[in-house]
Amino acid sequence: MQTKLIWKQNSQQPDNTENLAFISQWWSSLANKNVTLAQRLIPDNGALDQINWEEQRFDESFTIINPQIRGITVYWCKLNSADLERNTLPYQLVLDTRRQQLYIFPKSQNQLIIRVGLPEVSYETVEITNPEAECKQISNGNYLLNLRDTIQHIEVKVNLTPENLSLLQQKLRE
């Protein structure tokens, strides 16, 4: 599956209608979930990859109520202000399925982009230098990779399918 689905108003792309249906279903699935909403100006050169999405002062985090797309208008409410429905009419929607973020390009403000989605996942990083390593096959046909740092007293156990073990071995050879 693609990681980015695009719907664009008046597009002749054959998957435009299906993309809007999928985006609408995804948007509705956010009901009662905590989301983040950020608005940014699109750079004059149009380079969206230059937008700084680091948290800023007016970014919001809230529980979204009644997220829906009716026609092509995107609607939502905040939990504590459910009587105040917000909406925007977009000329384009881009859903990043990997990051679970919807980018809304409002028709009324074509220099603006709104990003709404699930909070970014952050990973805890544990750094181990030259650990003891052991890999053995376990009863279900998978492999157990055990990395042990005797100085920091950290042990990491990784359960790998044969396919993932092969992929790891391939990446280590590169």
Whether residue 105 is found in the same domain as residue 82: yes
* Spatial CA neighbour of 86 closest among 70, 101, 102: 70
Residue 1 has pLDDT above 60, yes or no: no
* pLDDT on residue 2: 64
Whether residue 34 is found in the same domain as residue 92: yes
* pLDDT on residue 27: 97
Q: Report whether 62 contacts 76 (CB < 8 A).
A: no
* pLDDT on residue 46: 84
* pLDDT on residue 121: 67
Whether residue 109 is found in the same domain as residue 139: no
Note the Cα 4 to chain centre separation in Å. 10
Q: Report whether 106 contacts 43 (CB < 8 A).
A: no
Whether residue 103 is found in the same domain as residue 157: no
What is the domain count for the chain? 2
In a domain, 127, yes or no: no
What's the pLDDT tens digit per position in 104-163?
A: 999 999 899 999 999 876 667 888 889 999 999 998 889 999 999 998 889 999 999 999
Give backbone dihedrals phi and psi of 53, rounded to 5 degrees, phi first.
Answer: -95, 10
Residue 73 has pLDDT above 80, yes or no: yes
Give the CATH number, domain containing residue 87: 2.70.180
Whether residue 111 is found in the same domain as residue 151: no
* pLDDT on residue 49: 87
For 65, the domain range is: 4-117
d(CA 31, CA 69) in angstroms, rounded, equals 12
d(CA 118, CA 101) in angstroms, rounded, equals 7
d(CA 51, CA 69) in angstroms, rounded, equals 26
Q: Please count the CA atoms within 13 angstroms of the CA of 27 that sit on its side-chain side.
A: 27
Give whole-number Cα distances, 56 to 59, 82, 102, 113, in Å. Answer: 6, 24, 18, 14
Q: Assign 75 a pLDDT band (cuts: 50, 70, 90).
A: very high
* pLDDT on residue 98: 87
Query: Which amino acid is it at 24?
Result: S
Whether residue 44 is found in the same domain as residue 96: yes
Does the pTM exceed 0.75?
no
What's the pLDDT tens digit per position in 19-69?
A: 999 999 999 999 999 999 999 999 988 888 889 998 899 999 999 999 999
* pLDDT on residue 65: 93
d(CA 42, CA 54) in angstroms, rounded, equals 15
* pLDDT on residue 82: 61
Whether residue 96 is found in the same domain as residue 164: no
DSSP 8-state assignment for residue 25: H
Facing residues of 149 across strands? 154
